[in-house]
Structure 1
Amino acid sequence: MNLAALSTPAALVDVARMNRNIARMQQRLDALGVRFRPHVKTTKCEQIVRAQIAAGAQGITVSTLKEAEQFFDKGISDIVYAVGMVAGKLPQAFLLRRRGCDLKIIVDSVQSAESIVAFGREHREAFEVWIELDVDGHRSGIDPEDERLIAVGRTLVDGGMKLGGVLAHAGSSYEYNTREALVRIAEQERASAVRGAERLRAAGLPCPVVSIGSTPTALSAEHLEGVTEVRAGVYVMFDLVMHNVGVCDTSDIALSVLTTVIGHQEEKGWAIVDAGWMAMSRDRGTLRQQHDCGYGLVCTEAGDVLGDYIMSSANQEHGIVARIGAADKSIAERFPIGTRLRILPNHACATGAQHPEYHALSEDGALETWPRFYGW
């Protein structure tokens, strides 16, 4: 199959861009002297993860236990499930470990730690558990200075579990757009995670792993003293949010949605395409950034950005392409019915999740179909 024969809408992966992104991140973290454990929730795709591992990644991070199951079935065993564990999911995690998966789980409360201890004792399983730290007030985790950190650690160790380390994610890094701010939040993430590890060790508790990461901080950190590994995910594709943050160019964005012009509203300056929010997702991540791209930035079929044209709004299976600012009353001439365009996504994870497969486009024009994993 070639691009001309591909039905729309379709999720395209520019393989050359993807490989450059993979090499860029791996080379950076190799230079900083840390292990890289990519977060595979962005793509949930075996072929892409194989490329990351071939470049030097060691282990993976997942956001669902279904991802862990799917990738373990494909032979990848070193896995961190980076969502807080609750009692109801322990049987699923237990079965994975009994099958030979080196699955690590995380907690940020004494209650969850006690649940793991109770289940582990009942089933004679010493789970490896990492404690999630809150390094920026963005989401989950324990403040590194909070006494609960030591309490969780003691609960796990006294209960016979393996305390593997600490894990942090500076999600607030997505809110910045200057080099200075990104360097600052990257150092805050590093220093806070290292501080949490030091407090555990000072209390006589083991903490071999210090795991941090987000795409902006991984690409902005000036040093990673005290860190053992970094996790990042969206870097493999990049997207418009990352472009607005300032860590990639539009020419680095490897994921796009191929779509076809199916009609016009000329007086409004609209071209109607067959990719709506079911193809792009409802993610409006650029809305509060300095450049709002609607539901995505419009490119030619070949992938070249077309100036100020965006997908300004979207229904389920219809998208509206328009020019930012003054309406383009000649849009029907510019994009006749049948014109094929590519739309760069706001959020690669969300757009990818709308599609059952990727169509991987090589530089020579060849296409391969790469399935995605689904479910929890």
Structure 2
Amino acid sequence: MTESPRATPVGPRTKGLALQGPSSLEQVAAAHPTITADTFSWPLLTLDDAALEHNLSTMAEICRAAGVQHAPHVKTTMSPQLYARQVAHGAWGATVANPAQLRTVVDWGARRVFLANELVDPRETAALRHLLDAGAGAGPGVDAGTGVADGLTDGQALEVWLYVDSAVGVQRLEAAFADADPQVRARLGVLVEVGVAGGRTGVRGPAQALAVARAVDAAGLRLVGVAGYEGSAAGGTSPDELARVAAFCRSLRHVAGMLLSEGLLGRDGTPVVVSAGGSSFLDVVVAELPGDLTGPDGAAVPVDVVVRSGAYVTHDHGFCERMDPWRRIPGASPMQAAAVVWAQVLSTPEPGLVIVGAGRRDLAYDLDLPVALSVRRADARGTLAPPVPLDDATVTALNDQHLFLTVEPAAGSAPALAPGDVVGLGISHPCTLFDKWRLAAVVDADDHVVELVTTDF
């Protein structure tokens, strides 16, 4: 097990910190400085502690109420400390997008990992075999710094699930695990991935699903269920788009039922796993996927639903806000945007134009430009006042390290922004924010840092 992430060295090379020499996360956070203290520099990524806890608690409660498991997709933040918080709120395990992320979370101490993707590189299937051989229960299963253990006991054997959608994928796994101990093979779970026409990975239709499932069974691999990404079925939340998502979820259950009827799933009463994403359409997923299936003998076979929502943990001020499924779930509270990037005004070269010291290296921009939220005005000595809402300001463009802000103050409002002021920027799509940072400051309502979290991209 690696050294605790809290002891990870930080120093002059760490963006967001203004350190003159080496230190550690624990040392920096020990005094609970404010983000305007000399310890920090601009730009700086902050996460609101209360918003994080609201989002984590809300997601956990909805999953409990719906009777589904949650394996959060950690690709959003790749932060061991934030994943530890998800585990503390009942996460079943970690979902990852590729083999590198899988190795990372196992190094954190995760003992259940869901690789929501295909694995067709023989080097990677061999590496997976090695991980499962090495993770047979001898390791601690817990990282001392994060407390990550997926709710399992110390020494719990590592279990990995992954997708297949082709004969090649099955053949690669079969070759890697041909001579594996049966106990090791039992800790590899395979799911047939179902896709949509024109979408990304996944079989196209029940016939292909059946062929791949039969190949998995013939290879002696453990088929545990069916999975898919419902976000490929729709890009918005109109009634027609929500209906398409619902139809896709029903197709997952249909394929699972077909494989159950073929005797490929549900053997000896084993629950059938059906998995979907859920970040944008959780309301549809939890309405459509749960519920027993009928086995070949007419008996009810339980379904274990695993949702892989990830972006919910920080939410955002753009895409996630527009798609927010929690607004469509009766009794649920909307998620709260937790992430803000603070950046300093560098220049006001012409009336109405403000140039801010942050850009594509610091901010998500693949779906929407950032949103100007607030300003901390600087006095003549550079001391910053508490933040106040920034109205009539629009982000119009980003360069690598510069942001263009158009400001049109209304009559009687505060004067236009000046160099030295610090602007709070909301983002859209957190999945393309955190890879630009190695550290984020978790702050309370008074701007005091309660924790520093790292990322492992």
Structure 2 residue 356 is the aligned partner of structure 1 residue 273: yes
The amino acid across from 2:66 in the alignment is L
Q: 1:244 corresponds to which residue?
A: 322
Q: Alpha-carbon deviation of 1:63?
A: 1.3
- Deviation string 1:238-282 (CA, Å, 9 cap, x unpaired) is 121111224479981111211111101323x2211111110014x
Q: 1:257 pairs with 325, 334, 341, which one?
A: 341
**Alpha-carbon distance, 1:219 to partner:** 3.7
**Residues in 2 aligned to 1:308 and 1:83: alpha-carbon distance in whole angstroms:** 43
Residue from 57, 60, 63 that aligns with 1:29: 63
Q: Give the counterpart letter for 1:225 in structure 2.
A: P
Aligned to 1:371: 454
- Other-structure match for 1:334: 416
- Structure with the higher fraction of residues in helix conformation: 1
Residues 234 and 304 (structure 1), Cα distance of their counterparts in 2 relative to 1, 3 Å cut: farther
Measured against aligned partners, the alpha-carbon deviations of 1:308-344 in whole angstroms (never above 9, x if no partner) come to: 4232111111111125xx7999999321111111111
CA radius of gyration, larger in: 2
* 2:347 counterpart letter in structure 1: G
Alpha carbons 1:261, 1:274 under 8 Å: kept: yes
Q: Closer, same or farther in 2 for the Cα pair 1:307/1:131, shift >3 Å?
A: farther
| TM-score, L = length of structure 2 | 0.73
Pick one of 269, 278, 285 that aligns with 2:367.
285
Q: Does 1:95 align with 2:95?
A: no
The CA distance in 1 between the partners of 2:392 and 2:198, in whole Å, is 35
TM-score normalised to structure 1 length? 0.87
Q: Secondary structure at the match of 1:155?
A: helix
Aligned-pair identity (%): 24
Corresponding letter in the other structure for 2:243: R
- Structure showing greater relative contact order (alpha-carbon pairs closer than 8 Å, 6 or more residues apart): 1
CA distance in 2, matches of 1:144, 1:56: 34
Q: Using the alignment, how far apart are the partners of 1:329 and 1:313 within structure 2?
A: 25
Partner in structure 2 of residue 299 of structure 1: 374
Shift of 1:19: 1.0
Map of 1:195 onto structure 2: 254
Q: CA RMSD, aligned part only?
A: 2.7
Q: Name the count of aligned residue pairs.
A: 361
Quick one: which of 120, 131, 151 aligns to 1:86? 120
Partner SS for 1:353: helix
Unaligned runs of 5+ in 2: 1-32, 136-157, 267-271, 292-302, 328-333, 377-385
Go from structure 1 to structure 2 and tell me whether the alpha carbon gap of 1:40 and 1:234 turns closer, same or farther (over 3 Å shift). Answer: same
SS of the equivalent of 1:29 reads helix
Query: Within 5 A, what are the aligned runs for 1:39-78?
Result: 39-78=73-112
Q: In 2, Cα distance between the equivalents of 1:347 and 1:174?
A: 17
Contact 1:177 1:246 (8 Å CA) reproduced: no
Q: Aligned partners of 1:168, 1:315: CA distance in 2, in Å?
A: 36
- Cα distance in 2 for partners of 1:340, 1:253 equals 19
Contact conserved, 1:270 with 1:328, CA < 8 A, in 2?
no
- State the shift of 1:356 in Å: 0.8
Q: Contact 1:61 / 1:79 at 8 angstroms: preserved in 2?
A: yes
- Counterpart in 1 of 2:282? 218
Task: Decide which of 154, 159, 163 is 2:219's aligned counterpart.
Answer: 159
What's the counterpart of residue 4 of structure 2? none
**CA displacement 1:327-364 (0-9 Å, x = unmatched):** 99999932111111111112111011101111111234
